[in-house]
Amino acid sequence: MPVHVFIIASLIKSVIVLLVLLTGVAYSVWLERKVVGHIQNRWGPTRVGPFGLLQPLADGLKFIFKEDLTPPHVYRPLFLAAPMIALIFALTSISVIPFGNSITVSGYSIPLQITDVNIGLLMILGITSMGVYGVALAGWSSNNKYSLLGGLRASAQMVSYEIALGLSLVGVLIQSGSFSLRTIVDAQGGHFWGFIPRWNIFHGQLIGFFIYLMAAFAETNRVPFDLPEAESELVAGYHTEYSAMKFAAFFMAEYANMITVGCLATLLFFGGWHGPIGGPPWVQALLPVFWFVVKVVCFIFLYIWVRGTLPRLRYDQLMSFGWKFLLPLAIVNLIATAIAVVW
């Protein structure tokens, strides 16, 4: 592929993926409000547009026009930089996510992915781990004891659950033999006994998925692990002093991380874009993207369902669960996978 075609294709893919991701973030908030509303026997957004579908637009306009307050006692440079750091790393991690096969345009094969690197999984883990700096710096720079405690809790959660998260993925890496996300998805093609998909969750990694799921909840500060922003203890945690678009940036980063975690779970455990495919060529080209999106939406629905069902853990329970249960279980799963592959 000529360099100019590669650059143009990359720019177009970047714009499309960014627009889709930001739209997905907005409507993840709408979906959460609707689903939790029905769980709690109420309607959720209904007034703005049919079924409240224009509520994300109204919320965005509200954040843009709200007064942007910066308290006088904060450390201003880091106070302003923290939400940008959180949002930038949350949006950057989507750049190495493959969401379908290649398509052919004017004789050129274009992969449905912004950039394809052979260490894509390592890049995502590194980028998402850096996102906690935005939360920690927000807590410290706010010069507020509640914000500081929220930032410290977020850092402690990241350290505690990142280890179990990484170990839960090693079993997948052993089975696929690659850090490339495309290679991992390709290794999950086909079926067992003609009808069971060869997805990793059916191929000895059910425990690995459970560990990944619990660690992902903690990494993204979601219920029941939302201790960094526990309203009953810390007002709003690390973003107590933030308002307007700076607050919205933290909100967007949280939901963008949810989508990234859902994409990664789909790629590593649920066969990526593999699914029933048939029909004319253009349908066969787009159907993998459809199956990928459906799996990610199901994962986000699970996120929301858990939020509407489970209570928040105490902090000692959070730490005990990570260090005393998840970490040993991840080590056992790793050893069992290695023995099974060698056997």
User: Which residues on neighbouring strands pair with residue 103, listed in sequence order?
Assistant: 110
DSSP-derived secondary structure letter, 313: P
The arithmetic mean of pLDDT across residues 294-306, rounded, is: 94
Backbone angles phi, psi at 16, to 5 degrees: -65, -45
CA dist 127 → 49, 122, 217 (Å): 37, 9, 17
pLDDT per residue over 104-162, tens digit each? 777 788 888 888 888 889 999 989 888 888 888 998 898 888 888 888 888 888 888 99
Q: What is the pLDDT of residue 232?
A: 67
- Reading the block at residue 122, the tokens are 């390592």
Listed by start position, the domains of the chain span 1-65, 68-108+117-288+310-342
Q: What does DSSP say about strands 102-105 and 191-192: parallel, antiparallel, or unpaired? A: unpaired
State the Cα–Cα distance between residues 244 and 280, nearest whole angstrom: 48
In this structure, the number of other CB atoms found within 10 A of the CB of residue 219 comes to 24
CA dist 251 → 6, 222, 278 (Å): 33, 12, 39
Burial of 244 (0-12, 13-18, 19+ CB in 10 A): middle
- When mean pLDDT is compared across 137-146, 188-197, 314-323, the lowest value belongs to 188-197
- When mean pLDDT is compared across 2-6, 220-224, 253-257, the lowest value belongs to 2-6
Q: What is the pLDDT of residue 170?
A: 93
* Model confidence pTM above 0.85: yes
Mean of the per-residue pLDDT values for the chain?
89
Instruction: Give the position of tokens 């449905």.
Output: 112
Q: What residue spans of 97-224 are helical by DSSP H? A: 120-130, 132-141, 145-176, 181-186, 206-219
Backbone angles phi, psi at 119, to 5 degrees: -125, 40
Q: What is the pLDDT of residue 292?
A: 94
Q: Using 50, 70 and 90 to split pLDDT, how confident is the model at 205?
A: very high
Q: What is the pLDDT of residue 337?
A: 93
pLDDT at 324 over 90: yes
